[in-house]
């Protein structure tokens, strides 16, 4: 098959691009490199630098494409609070541009990566797709709006659509920005540096941490799955993990006791979040394989930013 992957040089996009290219598919990537890095991509991936609002460039790349994976997005919740207009322009406007270019090029299937953040605060866990969304940040609003655009105009234009609500993905290659870094790479960096793990709030808030290979499995399945048109489907581990439990697990993985440092002043986000995977199992045959502890070990082994530090901390024989 021939695929176009927007945001294909990012953390998740590069894992998907490489997986498909290694399987013998033709993979074209467009990425503006605002957070992506071409060093993540294997040579078989055909890379173009560009913006998802550039419809003429998209149209050119979409010729003879069988399926689009639309992953390009701004993804920082705190930044979205500061710059909601930018998040709306890229996450919503960029999605509409991709759909318009697909219509004009005659491409008939798109897999859109949404986010578990659209659920926001929910009284029941795990969350399933029939629950009313309750977004609590401009980022989450932009992802939900993009979901609606994909489904609505896809129906009007005869494009098959499926939106995957990805929960807290982690694994090798995840960047650590100077501010508001994702919790797992931030904790690993702090732990390997010999410091405390900084926890905002009391650490009892929970998340659904899912290893990148499991997310990629779901994305690959969604390209050819039957009976998924217009659906939104959760992709997570199906396991609820508190931040305190995450900190303890990292301590076990690196082999030392780590003292958490609890901080106030920054919101820890929603109190609970865990994915119900019933629909993913039914429609995608999705069954996550990697436990949190195994995923953390694989991240330490496979990610150069951690593996060298981890080896340096290991006792000499």
Residue 282 makes CB contacts below 8 A (sequence gap 6+) with none
The predicted structure's pLDDT at residue 315: 46
| The pLDDT value given to residue 312 | 54
pLDDT digits 0-9 by tens, 18-50:
999 999 999 999 999 999 999 999 999 999 999
Q: What is the pLDDT of residue 316?
A: 41
pLDDT for the residue numbered 275:
98
Determine the pLDDT at residue 309.
61
**217-263: per-residue pLDDT in tens?**
999 999 999 999 999 999 999 999 999 999 999 999 999 888 899 99
Q: Which tens digits make up the pLDDT trace of 260-317?
A: 999 987 767 889 999 999 999 999 999 999 999 999 999 999 999 887 666 555 544 4
* Helix or strand (DSSP H, E) at 313: helix 304-313
**pTM for the full predicted model:** 0.95
Say if residue 118's pLDDT is above 70: yes
Q: What is the pLDDT of residue 180?
A: 77
- For 1, 70, 193, 305, the CA distances from 313, given in Å and listed in that order, are 44, 39, 9, 14
Q: What percentage of residues in the chain have a pLDDT greater than 90? A: 89
Q: Which of 189-193, 206-210, 306-310 has the lowest mean pLDDT?
A: 306-310
- Give yes or no for residue 70 having a pLDDT over 70: yes
pLDDT in tens, 134-160: 999 999 999 999 999 999 999 999 999
Q: Which residues pair with 5 in a beta bridge?
A: 29, 69
Choose the catalytic residue: 139, 170, 211, 286.
139
**What's the whole-number mean pLDDT along residues 89-93?**
98
Beta strand spans in 194-300 (E): 197-200, 206-207, 209-211, 231-235, 241-242, 260-263
Burial environment of residue 159 by CB neighbours within 10 A (0 to 12, 13 to 18, 19 or more): buried
Average pLDDT, the chain: 94
Give yes or no: 139 in active site: yes
In percent, how much of the chain has pLDDT > 70? 97
pLDDT digits (tens, 9 = 90+) for 122-139: 999 999 999 999 999 999
Q: What is the predicted pLDDT for the residue at 305?
A: 86
Please state the φ and ψ torsions of residue 165, each to the nearest 5 degrees: -85, 95
CB 120 within 8 A of CB 170: no
């Amino acid at each position: 098959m021939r695929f176009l992957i927007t945001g294909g040089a990012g953390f998740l996009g590069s894992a998907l691009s490489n997986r498909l290219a290694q399987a013998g598919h033709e993979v074209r990537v467009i990425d503006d490199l605002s957070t992506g890095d071409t060093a993540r991509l294997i040579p078989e991936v055909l890379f173009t630098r560009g913006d998802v609002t550039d419809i003429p460039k998209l149209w050119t790349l979409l010729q003879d494409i069988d399926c689009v994976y639309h992953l390009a997005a701004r993804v920082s919740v705190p930044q979205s609070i500061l710059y909601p207009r930018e998040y709306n322009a890229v996450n919503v406007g960029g999605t509409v541009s991709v759909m318009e270019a697909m219509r004009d090029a005659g491409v008939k299937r798109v897999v859109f990566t949404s986010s578990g953040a659209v659920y926001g605060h929910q009284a029941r866990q795990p969350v399933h797709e029939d629950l009313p969304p309750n977004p609590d940040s401009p980022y989450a609003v932009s992802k939900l709006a993009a979901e609606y655009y994909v489904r609505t105009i896809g129906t009007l234009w005869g494009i098959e659509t499926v939106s995957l609500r990805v929960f807290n993905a982690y694994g090798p290659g995840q960047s650590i920005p100077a501010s508001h870094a994702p919790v797992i790479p931030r904790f690993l960096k702090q732990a390997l540096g010999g410091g405390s793990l900084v926890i905002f709030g009391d650490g009892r808030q929970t998340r659904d941490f899912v290893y990148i290979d499991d997310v990629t499995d779901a994305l690959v399945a969604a390209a050819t799955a039957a009976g998924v048109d217009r659906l939104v489907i959760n992709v997570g581990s199906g396991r609820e993990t508190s931040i305190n439990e995450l900190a303890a697990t990292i301590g076990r993985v690196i082999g030392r006791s780590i003292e958490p440092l609890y901080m106030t002043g920054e919101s820890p986000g929603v109190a609970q979040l865990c994915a119900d995977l019933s629909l993913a199992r039914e429609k995608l045959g999705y069954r996550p394989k990697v436990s949190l502890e195994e995923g953390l070990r694989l991240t330490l082994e496979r990610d150069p930013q951690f593996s060298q530090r981890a080896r340096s901390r290991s006792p000499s024989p």
